Structure 1
Amino acid sequence: MSHHTIDRKPSGDEEGAYAVWATPSKDAKIRLKKLMSGLRSKFGGPKFDPHLTVVGPISLTGKDATEKFRAACRGLKVYPAQAQEISTGNSFWQSVYLRLDATPEVLGISSHFDEHFGNTRTTPYLPHMSLLYGDLTDEEKNEAIDEAKTLDDTIDSMSFAIDRLELYITPDDKTLKSWIKVEEYVLCAH
């Protein structure tokens, strides 16, 4: 299932970089994975699952992160997300991504987790789902946008449900080999 040989769950007292991911429902996930795989075969980069980062990475102990995550998840329901456009950024982690509408639901979940995790933002929350990680030139990024639209021409108008939240430990590791899912929470249906 996993690309690492040992999934060593961090211990409760260990500090780490924790992040909360919102993940799309199964059909949307399959569609996104197909697109991401097509982009990787052309531009390289590490493999990762489609996700919308809700909060993080934040430095916490394992115990603290898990407690905060559970408390914040309690009672949350499945919520909608809507793609807006394919965009590119200036970092390895935001090289090519699907920008999402900053809807009240999406923003609300983010600020809810900010509060629980004691996160203060220096820049406004940008809801997005990365499609490709990499240190690409501007030319390559533009090629990647074209390629994404060739692979899936309506990707920038897709809407989907977010049906689970996941707590990950995500050290600053460009191979992603050290990224581990610590816990997941399935959101209640409406």
Structure 2
Amino acid sequence: MADQPHSENEVLSLWAVPANPQHLADVIASLAEELGTSKFDPHITILGSIPVPKDEVLELTLKVAAEARRFNATLTEVTGHARFFECITATPSPTTELRTLRAAAEKIFEGHCQSVLPYRPHLSLLYGELDEPAKEAVIKRLKEQTGVGIGVLGEVIPIERLQIWTTGRSVEEWEMIGEALLDM
């Protein structure tokens, strides 16, 4: 598990990340540049706002990874939401593996994380606040251009690893501090 220095009490997030993220990273970067929002690495949040010291979170992440198997998810829907970090998202299917991964993480991180919202697996494509017409125009483009350019519908994303990121600051300051491969 690779790790980089950070303060002991930072807020951290546990992400499932695509094995080959380049196309999704390009889509996210293109939308961010076009709409003046922040770029971020493609991911599906498994747990957010983890207030656990670095050494402990890295050890717990290894335990989660050991309990989960690698899997493929297909992006089946693109939708818009009112939440800043879910402005435009793609829905990975099947979600059974993601819900199983989330349940394992909740069990292993028990007592450290308290989720107030029900878990809805998604891969964010755009952070920010857009009015509904602008949001719908972007969603339409993402749906119509399947397989080339900006399109994401039908894209199969292999999920092979978990990463821990600092997420308690501005998006531009987020950094990965560790990762673990999922079991074969």
Q: Secondary structure at the match of 2:103?
A: helix
Instruction: For residue 183 of structure 1, give the secondary structure of its aligned residue in structure 2.
Output: strand
3-state SS, counterpart of residue 115 of structure 2? coil
1:178 aligns with 2:183: no
In the alignment, structure 1 residue 157 sits paired with structure 2 residue 149: no
Match of 2:173, SS?
coil
Task: Tell me if the contact between 1:35 and 1:152 (Cα under 8 Å) persists in the aligned partners.
Answer: no
Matched residues, percent identical? 25
TM-score, with length taken from structure 2: 0.85
How many residue pairs get matched?
177
Are 2:101 and 1:101 equivalent residues in the alignment?
A: no
- What one-letter code is carried by the residue in structure 2 that aligns with 1:39? L
SS in 2 for 1:63: helix
The residue type equivalent to 2:131 in the other structure is: T
Matches within 5 A, 1:1-190: 9-11=5-7, 14-26=8-20, 29-74=21-66, 76-101=68-93, 103-118=95-110, 119-152=113-146, 155-173=152-170, 176-189=171-184
- Structure 2 unpaired stretches of 5+: none
TM-score (norm 1): 0.83
Aligned-pair CA distance for 1:151 = 4.5
Q: Hey, what's the Cα distance between the residues in 2 that align with 1:122 and 1:160?
A: 28
What CA distance in whole angstroms lies between the structure 1 residues aligned with 2:107 and 2:169?
A: 24
SS class of match (1:10): coil
The one-letter code sitting in structure 2 at the alignment partner of 1:10 is: H
Give the superposed CA RMSD.
2.1
Q: 1:18 to 1:64 in 2, by over 3 A?
A: same
Unaligned runs of 5+ in 1: 1-6
Contact 1:38 1:151 in 2 (8 A): no
CA contact (8 A) 2:39 2:172 kept: no
- Structure 2: how far apart are the matches of 1:147 and 1:37? 15
Counterpart of 1:185, as a letter, is: A
Distance 2:4 2:71 in 1: 31
Q: CA deviation at 1:102?
A: 5.1
Q: Distance in 2 between matches of 1:120 and 1:152?
A: 37
- Quick one: distance in 2 between partners of 1:17 and 1:147? 34
